[in-house]
């Protein structure tokens, strides 16, 4: 999912999100591939929020008012450093030069990004400290419908039974 609205009235929603949840952020240069053999270095920012445990938020800082933003599954990066993964809009695969290729696709086009694996792995380790892989379901906030279902069915969100206090 990309957000490239860089018009005069666009809002910087991700910057304004005031989540009290712990987060892991990382910034480093990636190579934005424009054509075969022609790449432009670009600052990227990776953000992981413990209350949005399945997603990674990636921003590319271009010469526009707002950065271009993508949100996709953390699992793609976890697997992508080891083997080719992903289908559809986001795909990732490692190379033999300690880099990861990330292909991002939407209706407006496709972007191919090359990034070093070392800072990505360091950042992923920090996300694991917040939420271990496979434990995301324990950190995801319940939506109002799910909470109401638990109340009506006299179940606690943690799976137990009994009245809520």
Q: Tens digit of pLDDT for each residue in 138-149?
A: 666 656 665 566
Contact criterion met (CB below 8 Å) for 48 and 24: yes
pLDDT at 105 > cutoff 60: yes
d(CA 120, CA 29): 11
Identify the band that residue 18 occupies on the pLDDT scale cut at 50, 70 and 90: low
User: Checking DSSP bridges between strand 23-35 and strand 38-49, what pairing results, if any?
Assistant: antiparallel
d(CA 17, CA 3): 15
**Per-residue b or e along 49-80, where b marks 16 or more CB atoms closer than 10 Å to that residue's CB:** bbebbebbbbbbeeeeebbbbbbbebbbbbbb
pLDDT single digits (tens) 29-85:
999 998 788 899 999 999 999 888 899 999 988 777 788 888 999 999 999 999 999
pLDDT at 129 > cutoff 80: yes
Its pTM stands at: 0.71
């Amino acid at each position: 999912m990309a957000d490239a609205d860089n018009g005069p009235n666009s809002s910087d929603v991700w910057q304004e999100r005031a989540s009290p949840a712990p987060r892991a952020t990382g910034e480093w240069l990636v190579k934005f591939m424009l054509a075969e053999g022609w790449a432009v270095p670009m600052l990227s920012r990776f953000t992981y929020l413990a209350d949005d445990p399945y997603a990674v938020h990636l921003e590319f800082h271009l010469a526009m008012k707002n950065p271009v933003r993508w949100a996709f599954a953390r699992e793609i990066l976890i697997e992508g450093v080891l083997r080719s993964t992903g289908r559809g809009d986001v795909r990732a695969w490692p190379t033999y030069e300690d880099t990861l290729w990330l292909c991002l696709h939407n209706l407006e086009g496709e972007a191919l990004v090359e990034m070093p694996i070392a800072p990505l792995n360091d950042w992923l380790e920090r996300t694991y400290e917040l939420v271990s892989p496979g434990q995301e379901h324990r950190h995801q906030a319940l939506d109002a419908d799910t909470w109401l279902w638990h109340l009506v069915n006299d179940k606690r969100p943690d799976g137990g039974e009994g009245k809520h206090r």
